[in-house]
Amino acid sequence: MTSPDTRAYRRIPADERPPLLFPGYASTVQRAPAQPLEYLPHMLTELTGPLLGEGRVGPLDHDLTRQHVGEPQGQRIVVHGRVLDEDGRPVPRTLVEVWQANAGGRYRHVTDTWPSPLDPNFTGTGRALTDDQGRYEFVTIKPGAYPWRNHDNAWRPAHIHFSLFGRAFTQRLVTQMYFPDDPLFFQDPIFNSVPDPVARQRMVSRYDHGATQEQWALGFAFDIVLRGREQTPFEDEDDDE
């Protein structure tokens, strides 16, 4: 849905953003809006708070490998990048949150019961604020693929969920970061719900040897563009077409 405040920005073509209803992704059949969307103006409380800032981020929130007494199992990785606006300018002091499965492909969640062991030293959640240049960095474990019941013999490619906040909870965008050359891309409806293959690749990180640390961790780069021609595809985009 286009609000009066955003009509000056370039409209993202339909083939560059996932539709709210994508039959191959079964849960969208149940949760996609059945009625036309309506614009609701923000009220004062939505514009003024709650604020998300430095006081909300702990010293180990960005390092998912040091949040417990022991070390988690799996391949240690460094994920870094920049958050940019439609003109390529950095977006400073924005809250970036991640959540993911462990190395065995299991989430620490009551509804995840597939027989892959939980890791007592890995919770799978982190947060960080971008710096003045829009940069963020997480240290974590490469997540494993996992089965789900969307279709026959369905497995999700390895991925990390990203949530980006502005200065209020109403300013939130959600996407997923995938890893290069994953063999499961061909049958993943979430990845393939973005019609344009070029736009789809904006959700795929790139291996970064410069960020790789000898005998310790592999590096992956993932820039997130919030708007414009090079926008990263986000989940739950409003659509008034």
Query: pTM of this prediction?
Result: 0.85
For residues 18 and 123, which has the higher predicted lDDT (pLDDT)?
123
pLDDT given at position 49: 58
156: exposed, middle or buried (C-beta count within 10 Å: 0-12, 13-18, 19+)? Answer: buried
36: exposed, middle or buried (C-beta count within 10 Å: 0-12, 13-18, 19+)? Answer: exposed
For residues 42 and 153, which has the higher predicted lDDT (pLDDT)?
153
pLDDT given at position 109: 92
What sign has the CA pseudo-torsion 128, 131, 135, 53? positive
Indicate the average pLDDT of the chain: 86
Cα dihedral 91, 131, 219, 186 in deg (nearest 10): -20
pLDDT given at position 125: 97
pLDDT given at position 237: 47
Q: Does an H or E element contain 192, and which? A: helix 189-192
Work out the average pLDDT over 11-26. 77
Work out the average pLDDT over 14-38. 83
Cα(241)–Cα(238) distance, rounded to whole angstroms?
A: 9
Give the pLDDT band (50/70/90) at residue 184.
very high
Range of 14-28, 47-61, 216-230 with top mean pLDDT: 216-230
User: Does residue 186 surpass a pLDDT of 70?
Assistant: yes
pLDDT digits (tens, 9 = 90+) for 67-90: 999 999 999 999 999 999 878 889
pLDDT digits (tens, 9 = 90+) for 120-177: 999 999 999 999 999 999 999 999 999 999 999 999 999 999 999 765 556 678 999 9
pLDDT given at position 42: 73
pLDDT given at position 15: 67
User: Does residue 52 surpass a pLDDT of 50?
Assistant: yes
Quick one: what percent of the chain has pLDDT higher than 70?
Answer: 83
User: Does residue 34 surpass a pLDDT of 90?
Assistant: no
The 3-state DSSP composition of the chain as helix, strand, coil percent (nearest 5) reads 10, 25, 65
Cβ(166)–Cβ(227) under 8 Å?
A: no
pLDDT given at position 241: 34
Q: Please give the positions annotated as active site.
A: 107, 146, 156, 159, 161
